[in-house]
Structure 1
Amino acid sequence: MSPSASPSPGTTATGAVRPAGPATLAGRTVSRIGYGAMQLRRADGRAPAVALLRRAVELGVDHIDTAQFYGDGFVNSVIREAIRPEDGVLVASKVGAASDPGGVHSLRLAQRPEELRAGVEDNLTSLGLDRIPLVNLRRTDSGPGLRAEGDQVVDLDDQLAVMVALRDEGKIGAIGLSSVSQDTLRRALPAGIACVQNAYSLVARDDEDMLGLCAAEGIAWVPYFPLGGGLPGLPKVTDEEAVATAARSLGSTRAQVGLAWLLHRAPNVLLIPGTANAEHLDANIAAGALALDDETLAALDAVPTRPGDIAL
């Protein structure tokens, strides 16, 4: 899964056209539409999961987001089987949580420095890599999900120290942050931050200022829950009338409108929509070609941020 030379910034190492064009992530040129691998847990068996990843590469995806705690290692093992060095795919993983089948969302936090290091080692083993190009530190400062308590309340500086050490050792290539506040991001900037992954969509835009900060600092903004939803009680982009109106006008799906809106938001926005369905994968990639005119963008921009009743 090492990079290989691309013919041009507009095409991947395999010669596929980059969906939505090129962007920079962890010092490499990648397609603005990648793939979030968490949903591979729901694939109808291992062979269909491998086939879905091969299809993604054919469509120009060269940025895959994963974690050891997705399917307790199953997702990473599928990536290891499906992705070849000549594909030039950048694999991004994350640490800060661990599998817990009996816990909330089948996760438990793993925020302590020794747990972060162990998480990187586990990802290296399951992915079959000597170096992970990008590893995101999943904190609990913002967004839906678990909140740290007790010994899981760990100072950012202690976490960054081990992440920088892992980078210096060559085990990771770049450091990202996930579920963080703007204050946390500012404190982390001296360590060198390649991307931020926060919950962000048309209906959840509390992080507008942080998106602007990332753009100014040359940091990729890689939103999770790009269509809202994701957890019970969270609003969904596809429920908005303005989205439905735009979809009817454009002859597209509502999900494609929501993804296209994100791509229009700022040039440093990269998408990692996930699915276990091949047709949905094709549709997500096709959203990169969806043009939104000024009138449509204005109507979508007028949709308010909607607080959700988040079930944890």
Structure 2
Amino acid sequence: MRALQVVTLTGPSDLVVNDVPEPTPGPADVLVEVHRVGVAFPDLLLSRGEYQMKPEPPFSLGVDVAGTVVSAPDGSGFEPGERVAAVGGWGGAQERVAIPAEFTFALPDALSYDEGAALPMNYLTAEFALHERGGLRAGETVLVHGAAGGLGTATIQVAKGMGARVIGVVSSEAKRQTATDAGADEVVLLEGFKDAVKEATGGAGVDLVADIVGGPAFLDSLRCLRRQGRLIVLGFASGLGIPEVKVNRLLLTNTDVRGAAWGEFAMSTPGYMQEQWARLVPMIESGAVRPPVGRLYELEDFGQALVDMDERRALGKLVVRVRD
């Protein structure tokens, strides 16, 4: 079968499509015929050997997949032919993949394979950040950085599904519409966002900041928080460095900075992903969650998709076609 592989840890330009043996599922695995693969930031890091998990080359990329069940263990709840989405550490960018049933989810009929591949990592990460780490409550206001990207649009939609007001921050006018279409109530530009947020909230500030990009905007994000506000650290997509905070600021303002490492928590907590999925399904059924899919790439162009994501040209979630 075809597989998109890392053979040298030299980045996206050196990815290759190879013929590899089909996987043999373990006793707790679902064997999935892959239709679509979502492009994720860990794929970029894996291609460079910079991720916390370091598989030995050659290995296949691919964190998010959507496809159909070929076989499933008894009692798993999955049947051959069923449409599913799934998530793993890597290995999904190939024609078939074996994934633990615990990390596999029934794909609602309302969603396409493209949308299914855009769901797992980003939306489960967003749900973890807002629900588990952020303690978001209906009626609160959330500020989302990187609001036009895959994780940003997911965070907007999950926050809206939880009953929040959402202000998106984007780096250019060209990205404003993507964040608006994802459901943001207001969208402001990164340049001068602190003052724009203060104006939008009548000077009160926001209850929660979801910071996906890091970099020099971090301090102004803290300044956007109201009393007992929470800033959730989700990543450093800007590439402009990892920010630091003087803890006396947190003391004086009664605010929090919290990390949200979904993968480490979810993959080591049995049953947690299924609990998260159960909370997302009503949001999907209500229409609050509908993943915006950006460009669709062929398997051979996975490397270009990673370059586009790395250079922040992505709008919504980038998806790779494995088969129709």
Query: Structure 2 length normalisation: TM-score?
Result: 0.28
- Select the structure of larger CA radius of gyration: 2
**Higher-strand-fraction structure:** 2
Query: Structure 1 length normalisation: TM-score?
Result: 0.28
**Higher-helix-fraction structure:** 1
